[in-house]
A and B are shown apart, each in its own frame.
Chain A
Amino acid sequence: MTNIVLIQVVLIGVVVAVVARLFRFNGARAQAIRRLGLLLFAAFAVFSILVPDVWNRIARFVGVGRGTDMVLYALVVAFLSFTVTTYLRFRDLETRYTRLARRLALDEAKRDFPATGQPASMPASRPATGPASGRDLGDVLDETGGRD
């Protein structure tokens, strides 16, 4: 009985940690940690192919019963984190794409409607996002890293 509680606590903890981590960090360090995690995961996969019983042992240890169930749980966690990272990555991409498209649209409008109260030359470096954000298009396009 206590073992059932153990697996539940462990799984919920992992899910929460994965989600929290994905929302908080997106720098080089977080990217490195994710890549190391993936490497470890692959190494363990190879190991578990060679020694299939290892899943059963882990399962018995945390109280799940069968190794296949353990694999299922691991997959659920992996899939969840994949879904969230992919969603966030697409959001990042969409933001950049939007700013690029907006810059294009504004530049074209400046060309086509030079005499509608617009100053003769809108400063090219004016942030497309407004001064509050403190970053302009250049920043966005130069941004390194990102999520993966």
Chain B
Amino acid sequence: MNDDVWLVIPLYNEAQVIGDVVATARAVFPHVVCIDDGSRDASAAAAEAAGAVVVRHPVNLGQGAALQTGFSYALGDPGMQWVVTFDADGQHQVADVVAMLDKARAESLDVVFGSRFLDDRTKASFLKKLVLRAAVGYTNLTTKTRLTDAHNGLRLISRPVVERIDITQNRMAHASELVAQIGDMDVRYGESPVHILYTDYSKAKGQSIWNAVNILVELILR
């Protein structure tokens, strides 16, 4: 079951949680590839022990680069039909991926973006909401897409689209770049509500609000 789905998990210093994340995911999706982006802890070993394929970047390149590496790896499996981008820190729910897959199949969509603003399960701080809203406003203005949450790490992408994606933004701006490229492809996309779990662990590790500034600079000077 779900043999045609590959979960792509960029992995950077998440040794504490990655084992559980991979094990939970593999109960439903057997194919998991973790891209160890130069972690300095035992992340890679933990992911491997939990049954994931681990692709190791020789040096830290950034999350965007890791996603692209994961796409390239998944494309090596001729049976792959879907790629799911998934976070390593335990914020994402496997049940949400199942719902996205059902939606994509039912509505024959090529891409399903996760959105934390389609229902009220996700509890984000006011400032975080504000920045995310501003980001999605900018993305909707500058790309040919209409989304409610552009910087969500959970996405389902079909093989033909994965083949055409080329992420060059290594660090912060890759989420916007991905949306922009998919927008340019003129394929069928949709959004599915996802629950982002802000645990103390993920809050401590998550992106700082300041990164909004970095993303903007990288987008303007690309």
Chain A interfacial positions (CB closer than 8 Å to B): 87, 91, 94-95, 97-98, 101-102, 104-106, 108-110, 112-113, 116-119, 122, 126, 128-133
Known contacts A95-B168, A116-B31, A117-B79: A101-B53 contact under CB 8 Å = no
12 further A-B contacts with Cβ under 8 Å, apart from A106-B55, A118-B76, are: A87-B221, A101-B57, A101-B61, A102-B65, A102-B72, A106-B72, A108-B55, A113-B54, A119-B77, A126-B76, A132-B164, A133-B166
A104 to B56, CA, bound (A): 9
| B198 contacts partner chain A, Cβ-Cβ < 8 Å | no
Residue of A nearest to B79 (CB): A117
Q: How far does the alpha carbon of A94 sit from the alpha carbon of B164 in the complex, in Å?
A: 21
Given contacts A95-B168, A101-B61, A133-B166, contact A128 B72 (CB under 8 A): yes
Binding site secondary structure of chain A? helix
Within 8 A of A (CB), among B102-158: none
Q: Can you report 18 residue pairs joining A to B where beta carbons are below 8 Å apart?
A: A91-B222, A101-B58, A101-B61, A101-B65, A102-B69, A106-B72, A106-B76, A112-B54, A113-B53, A116-B77, A117-B31, A117-B80, A119-B78, A122-B76, A126-B72, A128-B72, A129-B72, A130-B165
Q: Show the binding face of B for A, using Cβ within 8 Å.
A: 31, 35, 53-59, 61, 65, 68-69, 71-73, 75-80, 162-166, 168, 170, 221-222
Q: Establish whether residues A117 and B56, one from each chain, have CB atoms under 8 Å apart when the complex forms.
A: no
Give which listed residue, A104, A122, A130, contacts B166 with CB less than 8 A.
A130
CA distance A137 to B210 in the complex (A): 34
The contact of A109 among B53, B163, B222, by CB within 8 Å, is B53
A-B contacts, CB under 8 A, total:
77
Residues of A within 8 A of B170 (CB): 94, 98
Question: Are B31 and A132 in contact, CB atoms less than 8 angstroms apart?
Answer: no
Contacts of A105 in B (CB 8 A): 35, 55-58, 69
* Contact with A130, one of B61, B72, B76 (Cβ below 8 angstroms): B72
Cβ-defined contact, A131 with B65, below 8 A: no
Q: Which residues of A contact B73 (CB under 8 A)?
A: 106, 109
Interface centre among B58, B166, B222 (most CB of A within 10 A): B166
Contacts of B57 in A (CB 8 A): 101-102, 105
Nearest-Cβ distance from residue B97 to partner chain A, whole angstroms:
18
Residues of B within 8 A of A104 (CB): 58
Could you tell me the distance between the alpha carbons of A102 and B53 in the complex, rounded to whole angstroms? Answer: 15
The listed residue with most B CB atoms (<10 A of its CB), out of A97, A105, A106, A133, is A105
A101, B72: Cα distance in complex, Å: 13
Q: How far is the CA of A98 from the CA of B80 in the complex (A)?
A: 24
A132 touches B165 (CB 8 A): yes
Q: How far is the CA of A87 from the CA of B164 in the complex (A)?
A: 27
User: In the complex the two chains form, what is the Cα distance from A91 to B219 in whole Å?
Assistant: 13
Q: Which one of B59, B71, B79, B164 contacts A101 once the chains associate, using CB atoms below 8 Å?
A: B59
Residues from chain A with Cβ under 8 Å of B166 in the complex: 129-130, 132-133
Does B55 lie within 8 Å of A118, measured CB to CB? Answer: no
A97, A104, A109, A129, most chain B CB atoms within 10 A: A109
Residues of B within 8 A of A118 (CB): 76-77
